[in-house]
Amino acid sequence: MDLAPIPRTAISDTIFVRLVEEILTGRLPAGDPLPSERELSLTLQVNRHAVREALKRLQQAGLVRVSHGGKTRVLDWRESAGLDALTGLAVAGAIPARQIIGDVAVMRRSIAADAARLCARHASPEQRAAITAAAAAYPVGGDLTSVADADLTFWTTVIDGSGNIAYRLALNTLVAAYDEIGRDAIYALGAAEFADRAAHVGLAAAIAAADEDTAYRLAEALLTRFVVACQAGGEEA
């Protein structure tokens, strides 16, 4: 493995990112052992404590496993990693960013549409009021960043109202992945969705009325716009 030394000011985060890139790009293939802590420390020119912390994070992320005999072996990330690997995949370039954005858009549609349905069923009066307020505060126009931020605020409120903790954690992961890829490019792709204030207001009204079916239908229709934008090849959404 040919790795350049890491600057002395770097911390275990930098080591972690470097090793994630090596694993996700296949330069460290699944099944291969990682160099020892001592070897990594010498190669990267960092202290062993920082290397040890980075290796712990790799294990927690499902990218490596400590085997019998103390060897740390690389795992197949497609079988062992979780959603947190999305960020690493984007940074490493192991999968084209456009594909990651598209796959996340499909997942986002599934989660958010179901969250809207659950929200219409379970949300408290206070949560319904917060969703209605988020829709009412949605900008009529303005720059793309402001409407995209309003969209995120709206959906965060909806997902919180669904009461599904897994959906909330998935939202955090998806937002982090988009941040790594670059929000500007994603905002441009999602412009038709983000800028539709009326659709957000209509969805909020369905949730306020506890109309589960309408909430699901309106949410899916709204979020399909981003999916279609990501599939810029004529594929079916």
Cα distance between residue 236 and residue 234, in whole Å: 7
* Three-state DSSP class for residue 73: strand
Residues 6+ apart with CB under 8 A from 65: 59, 72, 73, 75, 80
Q: Where in the chain is the domain with CATH 1.10.10.10?
A: 11-81
- Residues 123-166 have pLDDT tens digits of 999 999 999 999 999 998 778 889 999 999 999 999 999 999 99
CATH class of the domain comprising 96-233: mainly alpha
pTM > 0.85: yes or no: no
CATH class of the domain comprising 11-81: mainly alpha
Q: What residues pair up with 65 in beta bridges, in sequence order?
A: 73
**Residue 95's pLDDT band (boundaries 50, 70, 90)?**
confident
* 234 has a pLDDT exceeding 60: no
10 Å Cβ neighbour count for 21? Answer: 18
- Residues 70-85 have pLDDT tens digits of 789 999 988 988 777 7
Q: Compute the half-sphere exposure of residue 160: CA atoms within 13 Å on the CB side of its CA.
A: 15
